[in-house]
Structure 1
Amino acid sequence: MGGAERGGPGRTGALVSGIAVALGCVLFLGGFAWAAILYKPYTVPTDSMAPTIARGARVLAQRIDGDEVRRGDVVVFRDKVWGDATMVKRVVGVGGDTVVCCDRQGRMTVNGTPVEEPYLQSGGPASPGGFSATVPRGDLFLLGDHRADSIDSRSHLTKDQGSIPRGAVSARVDAALWPTDAFGMLPRPGSFDALPGGTSEPGPIRMLGIAVVVGAALILGGAAYGPLARLATGRTARRSGNGKAVAPHG
């Protein structure tokens, strides 16, 4: 009976350990699997988005429908007019917007509203040269953050006002993976908050990352329970054995 009672806590610990490992596997593997469905990695080949995204940076982009895109989003797209290569640019205008540059402070305006762009290379101006475009319905107007070294909507103004159709967008950049000093979520600018629609919310990448980390911790903690419990039990048994009284003979 006493042995069964002493074994009770051990069995309970083993059960909790097993549950922790199982739950950890669900979170760890599920987080990775769900991220693989929602996101795709992409290497940025140019410095047109510097300093936000450097040349050669590895980013994680959420697969989205073009209808989900908002001003300020950094998107991955492909358009034959632009050379049929996959590109990364920032959306600064949507269908119906009039985008003009520059005002007296060197800022771009959208529908007459000046836009502060703290993400620009060297802090601005919004463009080395002036431009004006009215974005057709269902289209997007895109610029690189390195305005002096970006081939973007300004270079294609003679074709559909430099815009691309929303359907050309395949993903929205949520985070940077490499280089390590840039690792983390891509900042969501407040530059377009004063305009209708605002900027989109980040995807679930942070939540998925937490699930993976918590899952890994549960797996390691649960797997470590058995050896640690046996070690603790062995030490307790040795201490008990050393403390036993020796019965006198005769």
Structure 2
Amino acid sequence: MLFGLIRELALVLVIALGLSLLIKTFLVQAFFIPSPSMENTLLTGDRVLVSKLTPGPFDLKRGDVVVFKDPGGWLSDSTTEPAGDVHKILSFVGLVPSNSDDHLIKRVIGLPGDVVACCDDQGRVTVNGVGIDEPYLYPGDEPSEKTFSVTVPAGHVWVLGDHRSVSQDSRYHPDINNGMVPVDDIVGRAFVNVWPLNRFTLLRNPSSTFANVPAP
């Protein structure tokens, strides 16, 4: 009887781990926020859930907050502590958030074909010639202290952090693919902040910010 109980518990555990791995692989993955570059939308230590259905069945939109793999050299100066073996295993099956030590989280500003520039006469970032008002910017930050003008190529996006004055985003990597992030490197769209509980909130797309931006 005891053996039967142990076997049943082991079966339940295997099924649970399998389901968790499938969910993490194809649907949702949790990530840990390691830096202040997305304040105040996301704070250091927050945990977010990322939908892997975007990009995929659902298209990327300007304003989406996305997690993506380092396009190459963006995190060369990272001081993130390496995860332990137990954490790596639990993260692999989706039971704990990934440490994000080789991933970044930023906001999509430019889609393929868009011309993203800064700044217009009002100091705003422009997309396809239209200045955008960004309510998610960190209080006191300028839209950008660096001037730029880029055209986003096919299969890529242009990203910025919400805390612009501390965010090492697309503006700071002109020598690495001109700061572009390949869509293939995007893990998914962050759609909810789940931890700590007092900061639980849905991460909604600020669609009104880009409502007047014309197609490229």
| The two structures share one fold, judged by TM-score above 0.5 | yes
Q: Distance in 2 between matches of 1:181 and 1:131?
A: 38
Q: Distance in 2 between matches of 1:124 and 1:192?
A: 19
Name the structure 1 match of 2:68: 77
**Paired AA for residue 191 in structure 1:** T
Deviation of 1:184 (Å):
1.9
Q: Distance in 2 between matches of 1:196 and 1:153?
A: 22
The answer to whether the Cα contact below 8 Å between 2:194 and 2:200 also exists between their aligned partners in 1 is: yes
Q: Distance in 2 between matches of 1:157 and 1:98?
A: 15
Name the structure 2 match of 1:50: 39
Deviation of 1:103 (Å):
1.5
Deviation of 1:65 (Å):
5.0
Deviation of 1:73 (Å):
0.6
Name the structure 2 match of 1:4: none
Name the structure 2 match of 1:13: none
Q: Distance in 1 between matches of 2:203 and 2:140?
A: 18
Name the structure 1 match of 2:182: 165
Name the structure 2 match of 1:137: 154
Q: Distance in 2 between matches of 1:192 and 1:107?
A: 13
Q: Comparing 184-193 with 58-67, which one deviates more in the overlay?
A: 58-67
Tell me, yes or no, if structure 1 residue 62 matches structure 2 residue 51: yes
Deviation of 1:123 (Å):
5.4
Q: Distance in 2 between matches of 1:113 and 1:173?
A: 26
Q: Distance in 2 between matches of 1:139 and 1:115?
A: 20
Pair member with larger Rg: 1
Tell me, yes or no, if structure 1 residue 126 matches structure 2 residue 143: yes
Say which SS state the counterpart of residue 145 (structure 1) adopts.
coil
Deviation of 1:69 (Å):
1.6
More helix by share: 1
Q: RMSD of the TM alignment (CA)?
A: 2.3
Name the structure 1 match of 2:213: 195
**Paired AA for residue 131 in structure 2:** P
Say which SS state the counterpart of residue 148 (structure 1) adopts.
helix
Say which SS state the counterpart of residue 210 (structure 2) adopts.
coil
The answer to whether the Cα contact below 8 Å between 2:46 and 2:195 also exists between their aligned partners in 1 is: yes
TM-score by length of 2: 0.70
The answer to whether the Cα contact below 8 Å between 1:134 and 1:161 also exists between their aligned partners in 2 is: no
Q: Distance in 2 between matches of 1:123 and 1:181?
A: 24
TM-score by length of 1: 0.61
The answer to whether the Cα contact below 8 Å between 1:144 and 1:152 also exists between their aligned partners in 2 is: yes
Q: Distance in 2 between matches of 1:41 and 1:159?
A: 27
Match of 2:126 among 96, 102, 109: 109
Unaligned 5+ segments in structure 1 are 1-28, 198-250
